Structure 1
């Protein structure tokens, strides 16, 4: 079936570049029963979009705080792609898209979501076949953000690692978060917090851990590094509102407001800046034994100022993409915000979630959205929630929520602890958490096999039921997911210890029992149980 589109294409001067690009507007009437996924992954819980949806978002200067791609996929085989950001709106049984700087491409590939995805993946973000560091997958990750917040220090970092092992949990990647240096842009340890970082990291290595450091592209104003980069013109510049100024005629650094105040920002459109940053990170690896980096910030909306001047003219999203490319040199990496880069060995974490059932229910659909945007190596935030405000003194902790959150993570590509479960859980809930870690380790061969296939083929590792069983009425199931082709995972994401299970046709096995597919079941789920159905 041919797609009927309205295409207004003419050449204009791109706001952010010198190339002449096609401006494009597309309007599509939705087909009967048509469902759509894509765009900004943060809104996975609102997907699929359909004739009842009233939703719009502009990917230019994306403020969603997560991954995004100008890609939309339909369960009727339709696909939409644009090399540049577009705005998209579902309303009145139609889909309208607009891009200021590139042609919107669309077409039909087969008759379902899987065939549409396969076409888009192969043509626009083919799988590289490369992997991030496997330890990110083969053991839980341990992020020190919730426990230490803005006070990472050598003593407490080492104690956390010791406690992990004392609790019988496997050593894995340990992430030292924000504020380990004296200021932003100084890629060296604060000696008061870390009097002997080399020795501390060597100790962690002996225990079986690998170490990641949090970094951002921001530079503290009026610091030694700031003055160095200003002289070399390696930061984004400020034209003072004069659009006639270009990089050659501008000297003043641009200050950007972010969650930690006002800072200058690296200009990664400049190859010299890329080299400078890469060498700083390599110094940390060589001098201290640091294994990798958590690349925070880099959101497109930070680059949305009309005063911004860069070495190479770029859209806000392209600035975000340049931050992403730095991670390709470091197999141990993590990103929370991303523009494009599907099919690459870059780890994608969901944005910080609060400690609530409502946010827990977002993890499955938002991870599905990430996977359908081409991101193989995904991590569903931190167990129990990554918003530190949920764990400040006096905050109420729901122990069952921690356990159920760990169960949601357990058979996703990655699972990440932050709040120390042994600190906040009683024996029953702690043991239930440890059991689900053991289940992950037991199923690691299956998980690794599925990930290896996804890294080569580009197929999503974690999928909605609609992907494997098209047009059978499963499109709106948001609390179950397929891991590969034959593993169905149905975690409990509510306060209740009972849930509805929808099984596609076939023979399924769970708890040493055969379950007939093509039926819906209501089952009781004990605190220490994660329903995992294997199709045979």
Structure 2
């Protein structure tokens, strides 16, 4: 699904820069000026793009431009500090850390620089209340209460009825609980066609009905792209529901535009729907509802939609930044409680499920899960799923005779007490009996704590507070600003999974009395070394403050 994504992303960066210049100049230049914010002694900054979280807190020399760039994952025009300050703009901006200064440039809307808080938690609360208040709604709770299963790594582009049903039967036969099952890319004849391809799905409705009888709810992968030179493409072009290229005789004139924008993405070249046009939204929702009614689907996995797929100079029904096009893609999912997004812009506080971008089957990428999911919470994306267990970037599986079984186990343990956990590579296929039992043990650990996870999810929908929290968020100014190897689940449980092959783990316990998963009580604050054999996920419960 994203095997060529990073190379495509890099190739497009220079072109994005070239086309961004005239677009930026079209805005009111009154706001396009540098803003220098002095970084206070001992102050640390986070935010911007989730996929950059391993670099946070930001160091001198760091720079990131949010224009037409969500970092291949979730992003927001928000920066937060450990001294209680935040920076927000309604539009994307570029920021640089340089010589004890946070330098903001390229902002075409006024900056909201707030200093009312005293720590990271207060900066988040102040920003969220003002700019992305919680809506009091949850996505479908099955996404939290049971593991999820995605057919991508097992089937890749060979999505078909026989193997999807086998995958589901194997889930149940191997004593994993049925939950949400996601059918991934290449189920249709081409992009934009909303029917299952007959050569691989003899009776898709019967397939979905069978999955329901096994206890699954079924989601289907979709994107905003439309394959060119197809019947659907010609229909949408005639109705002016597609985004147009800047290469027109009449520049910037939507009424006279005739040449559609052809977008380069990881699956080739496609046209893209223009969701600034309400009629395009209506057409797309009608097709999704048709799929629900015809095939009995329960929801959708909304992929692509990254801001950097939208040319900055493209002609749309209403003028919009690439980031705004990405945000409009996010709004579609609000119609379906069973949803998932991998790329998102400025949709914090909404009942949308976010997934961390595809990670490689490596220890280095496993170590990114905690900083990424905690920064997602800081940006208001609280209903977030870590990547597929063992990794979701299928290119890193190609050519492997066998997987690192310990890595799969540790990945399952790391995901077990996050808001959601998602399988794709079938653990019963790739693991020994011993290691499979350890993955099942991680699922049982989640089951034990599911009532608490559900309590936190429901509370987050009302308050906007993160479900998963960094140590600095929960215990400000206690020296945890750069701790990325453990996290808080709510305010009661500290989770410290092993993230490498070393069987010992350094764990930081804040002030209070803590009881670990083995029943041992430890008084904090303390920095401890604990043995973490492969059958252990260290969990510490706060007994008293």
Q: Same fold (TM over 0.5)?
A: yes
Provide, for residues 199-229 of structure 1, a one-character-per-residue CA deviation record: whole Å limited to 9, x for no partner: 0000000010011111010100100100100
1: CA distance between counterparts of 2:443 and 2:377? 23
Q: Does the 8 Å contact 2:515/2:542 carry over to 1? A: yes
Indicate how the Cα distance of structure 1 residues 20 and 92 shifts in structure 2: closer, same or farther if over 3 A, else same: closer
- CA change 1:275–1:524 in 2 (3 A) is same
In 2, distance between residues paired with 1:43 and 1:261? Answer: 26
> Which residue is equivalent to 2:94?
87
1:422 aligns with 2:428: yes
Partners of 1:191 and 1:164 in 2: how far apart?
25
**SS of aligned partner of 2:506:** strand
TM-score under structure 1 normalisation?
Answer: 0.95
Which runs of 5 or more structure 1 residues have no equivalent in the other structure? 1-12
Alpha-carbon distance between aligned partners in 1 of 2:482 and 2:496, rounded to the nearest angstrom: 14
Query: Which residue of 32, 35, 47 maps to 1:26?
Result: 35
Residue of structure 1 aligned with 2:344, choices 338, 342, 347: 338
Aligned counterpart, 1:390: 396
CA distance in 1, matches of 2:25, 2:258: 19
Deviations 1:489-520 (A, max 9, x none): 00000111110111001000111121111111
TM-score by length of 2: 0.94
Residue 46 (structure 2) pairs with residue 37 (structure 1): yes
Task: Say yes or no: does 1:436 pair with 2:445.
Answer: no
Q: Secondary structure at the match of 2:285?
A: helix
Q: CA deviation at 1:238?
A: 1.7
Gap regions ≥5 residues in structure 2: 1-21
Post-superposition Cα deviations, 1:333-368, rounded to whole Å, max 9, x if no partner, equal 110100011000111111111000000000000111
Q: For the Cα contact (< 8 Å) 1:18–1:313, is it kept in 2? A: no
Q: Secondary structure at the match of 1:488?
A: strand
Establish whether residue 292 from structure 1 lines up as the match of residue 299 from structure 2: yes
Structure 1 residue 495 and structure 2 residue 501: aligned?
yes
Structure 2 residue matching 1:212: 3-state secondary structure? strand
CA root-mean-square deviation? 1.6
Once residues 110 and 181 of structure 1 are traced to their aligned partners in structure 2, the CA distance between those partners, rounded to angstroms, is: 51
Distance 1:156 1:530, change over 3 A: same
Measure the CA separation in 2 of the matches of 1:207 and 1:17.
55
Structure 1 contact 17–313 (Cα < 8 Å) conserved: no
Is 1:54 matched with 2:61?
yes
Cα distance in 2 for partners of 1:373, 1:363 equals 15
Q: Secondary structure at the match of 1:437?
A: helix
CA contact (8 A) 1:14 1:101 kept: no
Instruction: Number of aligned residue pairs: give it.
Output: 522
Runs of 4+ in structure 1 deviating by more than 6 angstroms, as ranges, are 16-21
Whether the 8 Å contact between 2:49 and 2:70 is mirrored in structure 1 is: no
* Structure 1 match to 2:199: 192
User: Whole-Å Cα distance in 2 between the matches of residues 218 and 379 of structure 1?
Assistant: 24
1:241 shift after superposition? 5.8
For the residues of structure 2 that align with 1:132 and 1:190, how far apart are their CA atoms? 29
CA positional deviation for 1:112? 0.3
Aligned partner of 1:216 in structure 2 is: 223
The residue that corresponds to 1:265 in the other structure is 272
- Give the Cα separation in 2 of the matches to 1:81 and 1:243: 36
CA contact (8 A) 1:16 1:315 kept: no
